[in-house]
Structure 1
Amino acid sequence: MSAPTSWTAEELATIDRVDEVEVATRRRDGSLRSDRIVWIVRHGDAVYVRSVNGVSAAWYRGVQTAHRGHLTAGGLRRDIVFVEAGDHAGDAGDLDDAIDAAYRAKYGQWSGPVARITDPDARATTLRLDPA
């Protein structure tokens, strides 16, 4: 049986419920780097993450090695694939605006960090997380 290629309703509910999740990126040899705490949001049935520190963040640079990793969110544990936001159909500007709105809705009580994760440097790091 092949692995699922989309999030289940239960997984999406978990992602909606938790504020902080952990991602670990994979090295070229397949081993996992250390977990990093990130914020993720949903847009429809897709899940997105950004680097609040832009392209210079170590975890984001680690993504560029293999575009694979592992997600831990509450009781959810999944291997994932990181997909560059520019790698899927649709207007990137509209998608970024929708993701900004999702971050504001989910994390709006923390206005300073939300302002940072919706600024142009963070928007440039938008990644979709797909189950591996």
Structure 2
Amino acid sequence: MTGWPGDELDVIGNAEEVGISSRRRDGSLRPYVTIWAVRVGDDLYIRSAYGPDNPWFVRARASGSGRIRAAGLERDVEFAEADADVHGSIDAAYHAKYDRHGPKIVGTVVGPQVVDTTLRLELARAA
């Protein structure tokens, strides 16, 4: 796996919303779902706002790969587990970026209840 280029980290990390799509078994992409994403250091993270049974999250975890799009940029990604020690920083990034939307909505993507619904986006390896 290669790291994200800095300009792409900036584009995705600064986008208000991103589209996320997982791959079907035949390799085709499912329809995009609009979600929030945050940047922590040189990594990008997404969380399921409505728990581990949210359909997009179930599909992303099962497939392990997909695509992200933000502000005209599209990249193939792999969905990986987040390291245990980064969740506090992810919470802080969500607060910094989205607190203006209010505690009720931001509360769906921060705290211990969303640790298990956190995915790190890795730039997919070139085929």
Structure-2-length-normalised TM-score: 0.90
Q: Which runs of 5+ in 2 are unaligned?
A: none
For 2:44 and 2:7, locate their aligned partners in 1 and report how far apart those are by CA, in whole Å: 13
Q: Does 1:116 align with 2:108?
A: yes
Q: CA deviation at 1:126?
A: 0.7
Structure-1-length-normalised TM-score: 0.87
- One-letter amino acid of the counterpart of residue 24, structure 2: R
For 2:33 and 2:6, locate their aligned partners in 1 and report how far apart those are by CA, in whole Å: 25
Cross-structure match for 1:128: 120
Cross-structure match for 1:41: 38
Q: For residues 21-42 of structure 1, give each alpha carbon's deviation from its aligned partner in whole angstroms, at most 9, with x where no partner exists.
A: 0000011111111100111101
Number of aligned residue pairs: 123
Q: For residues 65-115 of structure 1, give each alpha carbon's deviation from its aligned partner in whole angstroms, at most 9, with x where no partner exists.
A: 220000001111000000012xx4xxx1x3111100000001110122111
Identity %: 42
| Structure 1 residue ranges, 4+ long, deviating more than 3 angstroms after superposition | none
- One-letter amino acid of the counterpart of residue 79, structure 1: D
For 1:65 and 1:29, locate their aligned partners in 2 and report how far apart those are by CA, in whole Å: 13
Task: Give secondary structure in 1 for the equivalent of 2:19.
Answer: strand
